[in-house]
Structures are given as structure tokens and as C-alpha cells.
Amino acid sequence: MAISSLAPRTEAVDVSRPGIERKTGKAPVKRHVRLSVLGLLVPATAVIGWEAASRLGWLDRTIASSPSEIVVEIGHLLTTGQIWVHLWATFVRVFSGFALGGAIAGIVGALAGMSPILYRLLNPSIQAIRSVPSYAWVPVFILWFGIFETSKILLIALGAFFPLYLSLVSSIRSVDRKLVEVALVNGFQGWSLARRIFLPASLPAIFVGLRQSLGLAWMFVVAAEFMGATHGLGFLLIDGQTTGRPATLITSILLFALCGKATDGCLAWVSERALHWQDGYRPNSPEARSE
């Protein structure tokens, strides 16, 4: 009897598409669309109500603005090309700060995670710095690094550092001992052990940390641009406030929401692709996916 013929044929596994979850059929897609529409109901009603209230004179236009004014404001920013200048300025700050803070968090977090001595050496100080409220750094950074880009990017980097550092350290320290043993008996050590076991095992936590870091980078950019900027979405906020233009203020807030959501969506997309092997609870129902 050939050895291969002993292979159990009865163990039922979906052979149709290895590695990829099966897509939902046609009917659930329709349902998915219906449910998305349901999610738009509240904001749509709010916008219509807001517009109506402002036209009927129930709201003070100089404070509350109105959806139509905001559309006009966006149109104005688009036609003059101003919107791209502000968006670009803010994006450059967010991503330089995020990249810098993320890179340092990656290196320090990996070292502190892998080496108990470095963990004891560094972690208490880092935790202490973490508990300083973010705005407390603004005057310090202005004094140390001036009011230009350096202090802004460093402030954002500081904000982006902590979430990634924390999740990296805790995930490395909780990597399954059993998998490490498998690598050890197969001759993996040092760098190859880190690359083949610790990195992939902590990848889920790294992605969570990256997304939180990016979120904090978007928060810190507002603080940074309040320090004094001539361009950027934060500048637009200050500008709208000082010149009494609520439409500008709200436009800026809308743009923040859009940018934050879009960049986080990109990271989430990459993370889902990179972590397809995870055996987590993954409901196929459209309700849970449509968030």
C-alpha cells in the first residue's frame, strides 16, 4: 500500500480557494448596500435640517454657517487651488512626524521587547514621558526647536511614538513560547529568529499600533499648527476663527475627518492583506463588515 494512500480523505476542508475567504453571494451584497444607506440616514437628515434651520433664520449664520455656505467655501478653496496648499502642508507634517516617530518606536520597541535588560532600563522613563499631556510639550518644543517645521514635526513624532512603542513591546514580550521553541529546535537564533518568528508574530499588534500612531499624528498636527503656521488645515482653523468665518472652520474640520479616515483606511487595507493568515473571529455578515 502506497504511503500516500493512507492520507485521510475524509477530513473535510474547503478545497475551492486556499488562503482566501469565500466572497459573499449576490443577495448579501444587496443587503449590504441597503444597510450602508441606513448609515447615511442620520447625517443626511442633519444636513437637511441644518440647511433649513439656517434659511428659516433659526440659526445665527455668523456663528453656525450652513451646508450650502460650506459647499461654496470648498468650491472657493478648490478653484483658487488653496485647498491643495493646505492639504499638502498638513500631509507633509503628519507623514514626516509619523515616519520619524514610528521608526524610532520600531527600533526602541523591538530592542526593549527582545532584551529584558533594555526593557528595565528604558521602559520606566518612556512611561513617565508618556504621561505628560501632549499640549504641555508645545511651549517646550517652541523654546527648544523654534516655531518652524522642526518643532512641529518633532511634536507629531512624539505623539506617534507611544502607541507603536507600547504595542510592539507588549506583543514581542507575549510571543508564544511554543513557537519560539519550534524555531530553536530547527536552528533559528538571533536575527533569523527575530525575523522569522518575532516579527510575524507581533505583526497584528504592529498594525494596531501603527493605526493608533497615525491617529495621534493627526491629533498632534492640530496642536503643532496652532503653534503658528502659514499653511495647513490647522492654520485654516485658526484663520476661520480669527476672521469670523464659520464655513472655513467647519470645512477644515470636515477635511480633517476625511483625511484621517482615508489614511486609516489605507493602513487597514494593508493590514488586512498582510494578516490574512490570522485565525480570528471574522464574521462574514455584511453588518459587521460595513463599519
Partner 1 sequence: MARRLPSELARSSFGIANSKWKKPSVTRCYHCHVQLAIGYWLLAIPKELKASSMVTIDKISKSYGGDVSVIADLQLSIKPQQVTVMVGTTGSGKSTLLRVLAGLERPTSGGIRWDSDHGGNGRPNLGIVFQEPRLLPWLNVRQNVEFGFGPAGHRRSAELANEILEQVGLRPFSLYYPRQLSGGMAQRVAIARALVRKPSLLLLDEPFSALDALTRSRLQEHLMELFVKHSLTLFFVTHDIEEAVALSDTIVVIKGRPGQISHQFRIDLPRPRSRHDQAFIVWKERVLEALTE
Could you tell me which residues come within 8 angstroms of residue 259 by beta carbon, excluding any fewer than 6 positions away? 87, 90, 91, 218, 233
Min separation Cβ 190 and partner 1, Å: 9
Q: How many residues bind partner 1 (CB under 8 A)?
A: 34
CB 210 within 8 A of CB 274: no
**Quick count: other Cβ atoms within 10 Å of Cβ 230?**
9
Beta strands in the chain (DSSP E): none
For position 283 contacting partner 1 by CB under 8 A, the verdict is no
List the x/- string, 228-257, binding to partner 1 by CB under 8 A: ------------------------------
For position 279 contacting partner 1 by CB under 8 A, the verdict is yes
Q: What is the length of the chain?
A: 291
Amino acid at 205: A
Min separation Cβ 280 and partner 1, Å: 9
Q: Return the number of the residue (261 or 282) whose C-beta is nearest partner 1.
A: 282
**Quick count: other Cβ atoms within 10 Å of Cβ 145?**
15
List the x/- string, 170-209, binding to partner 1 by CB under 8 A: --------xx-xxxxxxxxx--x---xx--xx-x------
Contacts 24+ apart (CB under 8 A), 273-279: 274/203, 274/207, 275/203, 275/204, 275/207, 276/19, 276/20, 278/204
Q: Return the number of the residue (21 or 60) whose C-beta is nearest partner 1.
A: 21
Q: Which of residues 86-145 bind partner 1 (CB under 8 A)?
A: none
1 in helix, strand or coil? coil
Min separation Cβ 276 and partner 1, Å: 8
Residues contributing to the site for partner 1 (CB under 8 A): 3-8, 11-15, 18-19, 178-179, 181-189, 192, 196-197, 200-201, 203, 276-279
